[in-house]
Amino acid sequence: MRTRKDIEAIEEQILGPYAMRAKDSAGRFYSEPPHEVRTCYQRDRDRIVHCEAFRKLEYKTQVFVISEGDYYRTRLTHTIEVAQIARTIGRALQLNEDLIEAIALAHDLGHPPFGHAGEEALNDIMRAADISGFNHNVRSFEIVTKYEKRYPDFDGLNLTEEVLVGILKHHTAYDKPGGATVYARKGQTLEALAVDIADSLAYLSHDIDDGITSGCISEDDLCGSELWVKVYGQITPRLEDKNREMFKYQIVKALIDLQIKDLLTVSAQRLKDLDFRSSGEVKAYTLKNPKASIVDFSPLMKSQRDHLQDLLNEKLYHHYRVVRMTDKAKRIINDLFDVYKDSPTQLPYSVYQRDRQYNRIEKYEIVCNYIASMTDRFALDEHKKLFDPYQKV
């Protein structure tokens, strides 16, 4: 039987000196005895996979609302794709794949219904009320430290410090009081940086897939992108007589491969130049240089990706069908918020305690957190119950 100590010994052999070892973790907020056969990061990954918020990702939007069809990516499929890409990057750079996977699986737990449209709506509502805005990274942190209720001795999942810091990867939590601020001001691991870049790589590539499938963009729309033209030229000769569905899959695959190859070449050289001798040196460096590029693309690839992103913004994200979905989603969020705010007794007993007095900020935060916890389907059903006179409540 392979024990935790055996796995930690293997980490010493296969990981780079700059990688985060499980035995060197800063630990958990609440002390727990080590597991016999799993490292601390493996336990974190398992706790995330089994939590309620992770299951809800299946019914939360990426770009296309769930009701638009079953093919399109959800937050769950996006999360799995990010984890796969990040692990590929980590394996090639000799990083800790267990830590990478834990961060990747948790990175979008805090997304509200309807994707970025839902986040923008909640953020606008909270800021208009002179309350700290809504940010899905902070919400993810709060889910795993407070809102998940699975253990008798503490709230949350009691994840390791490295995973918590990785969840707050964008460092947008400084204006949010409480524990999030403390963790956001700690240095990042290379594993967290790998997840961050894998996230941007996944959504850029896979939104093209969903966009073409939906008919919102065409191959011709993307021909202005040098990156697209390059992979198009590689794939076309091999698949000239094949069906267009296979062509779409192969070109998205080639797009991902091209970006990863560039990323690995550049990142390996930067690690060699920086010559980190420990994960502690990495944390100190990223704390002092939070915007430093370590796991990143070449300047040329960045420029090509930016241009492709601009095309997607113009052709896909501002397509009239996507704009309709976005505006409809924001109206639903605003309608729900107004009803709950003005008549909080319509909230479930578990959410709003009738025998307690809440101030204005507390009421707003209760409503915001409740809506953020919804899936697309639940939010749509709830809206019908509140506004459709023929819908049973």
Could you read off the pLDDT of 156-201 as tens digits, one per residue? 999 999 999 999 874 433 334 445 667 777 899 999 999 999 999 9
* Domains identified in the chain, total number: 1
Rounded CA-CA distance 94/17 in Å is: 9
**165, part of any domain:** yes
User: Which has more pLDDT, 206 or 383?
Assistant: 383
**122, part of any domain:** no
The first and second tokens of residue 122, run together, are 């909640």
Could you read off the pLDDT of 32-62 as tens digits, one per residue? 999 999 999 999 999 999 999 999 999 987 6
Rounded CA-CA distance 274/282 in Å is: 9
Distance from the Cα of residue 250 to its chain's centroid = 25
Placement of tokens 């969903």 in the chain: 210
Smallest Cα–Cα separation from 54: which of 69, 44, 67?
Answer: 44
The first and second tokens of residue 1, run together, are 């039987």
| Mean pLDDT, residues 121-147 | 94
**250, part of any domain:** yes
**127, part of any domain:** no
Q: Give yes or no for a contact between 378 and 386, defined as CB atoms under 8 angstroms apart.
A: no
Could you read off the pLDDT of 286-340 as tens digits, one per residue? 999 988 889 999 999 999 999 999 999 898 888 898 889 899 999 999 999 999 9
**263, part of any domain:** yes
**136, part of any domain:** no
CATH number at residue 27: 1.10.3210.10
Backbone angles phi, psi at 18, to 5 degrees: -90, -10
State yes or no: pLDDT of 69 exceeds 80. Answer: no
Placement of tokens 């697309």 in the chain: 376
* Structural domain boundaries enclosing 164: 4-49+69-105+143-319
Could you read off the pLDDT of 254-283 as tens digits, one per residue? 999 999 999 999 999 999 999 999 999 999
Q: Is the pTM of this model over 0.85?
A: yes
Average model confidence (pLDDT) across the chain = 90
- Other beta carbons less than 10 A from residue 235's beta carbon: 20
pLDDT of residue 240: 63
**290, part of any domain:** yes
Confidence of residue 70 (pLDDT cuts 50, 70, 90): low
**135, part of any domain:** no
Which pairs count as long-range contacts for 237-240, CB under 8 Å and 24+ apart, including other chains?
Answer: none
pLDDT of residue 174: 35
Confidence of residue 63 (pLDDT cuts 50, 70, 90): low
